Amino acid sequence: MILLLHTLIQATVGLMFIFYPQAGDLIPGFGTSEGQSFELLMKMYGLASLFLAGLSLYAYLKRTSDTLFLFLTLSLSIYHYLMILVQTIYNPDQRAALLHFLLAIFLTGQYLGRRKASWTDDPAARK
């Protein structure tokens, strides 16, 4: 379920950044910047956000594959932990860091839940 929520959040932010020029006013930390460089930054961040939405949707659709699920949830978790670091250091508005923190915690929970299940399996069955 968290992967679907992650997909929804990332896709919404990505589409807003690509198609809605004033999206920076709605997203914490972007402020009222303007100009070609800012528009380029918004579009690049939008594409990155859509890519992450695609990864989380793919992880959800392939959730029966332990290897793929574990790799994607760990990768998304690491991304969000790094975004927490960047948002905490460079963004005076901490709401974005809080959102990344929540997503990182929930994705890490998904990862650890699946990982724990694989630890309790019969080792002979994994060969």
Q: How far apart are the first and last CA of the chain?
A: 30
Find the helix or strand (DSSP H, E) in which 62 lies: none
Would you state the structure tokens that stand for residue 107, as one six-digit string?
């994705």
Q: What is the pLDDT of residues 6-59, one digit of tens each?
A: 999 999 999 998 998 777 777 766 666 777 888 888 899 999 999 999 999 999
Q: What are the helix (H) ranges across the chain? A: 2-19, 23-26, 36-61, 66-90, 95-120
Q: What is the pTM of this model?
A: 0.84
Examine the pLDDT at 122 and tell me if it is beyond 60.
no
| DSSP letter (8 states) at residue 91 | -
